[in-house]
Amino acid sequence: MGSERTMVEIFERMRDGEQQIGARQPVPSHAAKVIARKVLRTGFEDKVPLATKPCLGIVLGTGMGSLVDHLEEKMTVDFSELGWLPSATAIGHAGRLVWGHVENQSVVMLQGRVHAYEGQPVEMLYRGIELFAALGIEQVLLTNASGGLTSDLVVGEIVILKDHIDFVRNALAAEYLKTNGSHVYDELLSAGAVRTAQVAGHRCRRGIYAYCLGPNYETRAEYRMLKMLGADVVGMSTVPEVIVARSFGMRVVAASIVTNLADSIDCEDKQPIHGEDVCQTAASATNGVWTIVRKLLDEL
Ligand code: HPA
């Protein structure tokens, strides 16, 4: 009887998200704050700092790098110059911190990211988000390329994440474990993003992202399994950033560009997927993603 009550209590606490009661409120590290101060106030040598606190942080995934060209008064620093953000090695990930303006709003972008499969220590997966937090950013747009699992998806379609299945479960630091797993993607901003992209003529819908380690693309059997488990798209990034951004209290929108389709792979004349093609196909959706950026900026 006594032990039954204990179980009930445990389940109630789990439901309330109190199971991670030991987690501390995260604070950005000293290194993140030092870089943030340069971006906001002192500048990097000849790079002019931002005039105002950035209202949006964007992580540009595979093929999305050219979105930095929309920034006015654009300033760029290579991750390697910062000595803190790890250099990206994956194809289509330049590895640069970029800031500038869209009309009179300040925006910061990470042009490229590292992935868990690159073998970096786990904190490297979310240092960019820690920097966003140090910059005072409260809204993030995370972008990535993915394989489409749901049968009626088309290549180039934008899927705004409504949930994810985390098959990797990176061992994040304790302060990032208090995120209530059931509410990670911002409903209001995400719904607005879908509507805006659709009105602008882009294929766009909400969907569930399966986060897998990679670096290999999935086998036919794995694509079939992921589809059966209820995922709409599959990729190798973003989820650690989502968890950390939510722990910092940021509102999160994630846009995934479908670059290949599981159904067309799961047939006898299966063609192998090439990273270069994934990159090019994702790049073809940058216009659609930019309409989403504009909408987010309008709402902030
Ligand atoms: N699987 C995992 N990651 C991906 C894929 C895929 O099919 N396409 C683009 N990124």
Residue type, position 172, single letter: L
3-state secondary structure of 210: strand
Question: What would you measure as the largest C-alpha separation in the chain, in angstroms?
Answer: 70
Ligand 1 centre to CA of 203 (Å) is 19
Ligand 1 centre to CA of 236 (Å) is 7
Q: State the pLDDT at residue 56.
A: 98
Question: Which residues on adjacent β-strands are paired with residue 255?
Answer: 143, 160
Which residues are CB-neighbours of 284 under 8 A, at least 6 positions away? 63, 156
Distance CA 169, CA 162 (A): 18
For residue 5, pLDDT beyond 70 = no
CB 189 within 8 A of CB 234: no
Q: State the pLDDT at residue 263.
A: 85
Q: Which two tokens stand for residue 39?
A: 């971006």
For residue 18, pLDDT beyond 50 = no
Q: Identify the residues whose C-beta falls under 6 Å from ligand 1.
A: 145-147, 217-218, 234-236, 259-260, 278
CATH number at residue 10: 3.40.50.1580
- How many domains would you assign to the chain? 1
Question: Which residue's CA is the closest to the ligand 1 atom numbered 9?
Answer: 146
- 45-97: per-residue pLDDT in tens? 788 888 789 999 999 999 999 999 999 999 999 999 888 998 877 777 789 99
Distance CA 252, CA 58 (A): 10
Candidate from 213, 278, 279, 284 with most ligand 1 atoms within 8 A of CB, to mutate = 278
- 170-209: per-residue pLDDT in tens? 888 888 876 666 789 999 999 999 999 999 999 999 999 9
Atom of ligand 1 nearest to the CA of 147: 7
- Kindly report the average pLDDT of the chain as a whole number: 89
Residue type, position 28, single letter: P
Ligand 1 centre to CA of 117 (Å) is 13
Ligand 1 centre to CA of 276 (Å) is 12
Residue 166 sits at φ, ψ, to 5 deg, of -100, 100
Ligand 1 centre to CA of 263 (Å) is 13
The owner of tokens 């000849």 is: 46
- 99-143: per-residue pLDDT in tens? 999 999 999 999 999 999 999 899 999 999 999 999 999 999 999
Ligand 1 centre to CA of 257 (Å) is 10
Distance CA 266, CA 288 (A): 28
Structural domain containing residue 267: 2-299
Quote the pTM value. 0.90
Atom of ligand 1 nearest to the CA of 235: 3
Atom of ligand 1 nearest to the CA of 144: 10
- 103-114: per-residue pLDDT in tens? 999 999 999 999
The three-point CA angle 75-79-82 to 5° equals: 85
**pLDDT-above-70 percentage for the chain:** 89
